[in-house]
Homo-oligomer: A and B are copies of this chain.
Amino acid sequence: MKENENARIGEGLPWDRVSDHLPFNADGLLPAIAQQHDTGEVLMLAWMNRESLEETVVTGRVCYFSRSRGKLWRKGESSGQVQHLVELRLDCDGDTLLLRVQQDGPACHTGRRSCFYNALRDGRVVVTDEPLIAPEELYGKK
């Protein structure tokens, strides 16, 4: 990514060359921020390995790597709340991904639109949003 620092707008490098050199961490992962593409809302942060990143780029449907389950996690596979990739971005040193997405319904397993519904206000961490859908409804019916 270093080469892009001095590139002009619209200039850049082939994806294959960039992806071959991405600095995955010791667990083979990069953090990926999902942001609703039109409103700018930050929905969640999850992790991608090389395989989930390549799948996401090829299919346009966001696939993460679940650290707790130790396997690919096609967002929405249980809940039906799919993330469609609108644009993939990388930061200046290539070690964080920003996924600009179209999120169907809630991104959060609690049924809330965004996972970031806890805000520090006046010494307390308070809830800022209600679930759009009850979690039982998200995960109960398949």
Contacts and interface: CB of A to CB of B under 8 A. Distances in A.
A13 B18 CA distance: 43
Interface in A125-141: 125-130
A36 B138 CA distance: 31
A33 B40 contact: no
Given A15-B120, A33-B45, A90 B125 contact: yes
A93 B39 CA distance: 24
A52 to B, nearest CB: 15
B127 A4 contact: yes
A110 interface: yes
Given A12-B124, A127-B10, A118 B40 contact: no
29 contacts: A1-B118, A4-B117, A5-B110, A7-B127, A8-B127, A9-B128, A9-B129, A9-B130, A11-B127, A12-B125, A13-B124, A13-B125, A14-B123, A14-B124, A14-B125, A15-B120, A15-B125, A18-B118, A31-B31, A39-B40, A40-B41, A57-B120, A87-B120, A88-B120, A89-B128, A90-B116, A92-B108, A92-B112, A96-B115
Interface of A: 1, 4-5, 7-15, 18, 31, 33, 35, 39-42, 44-45, 57, 87-94, 96, 98, 108-110, 112, 115-121, 123-130
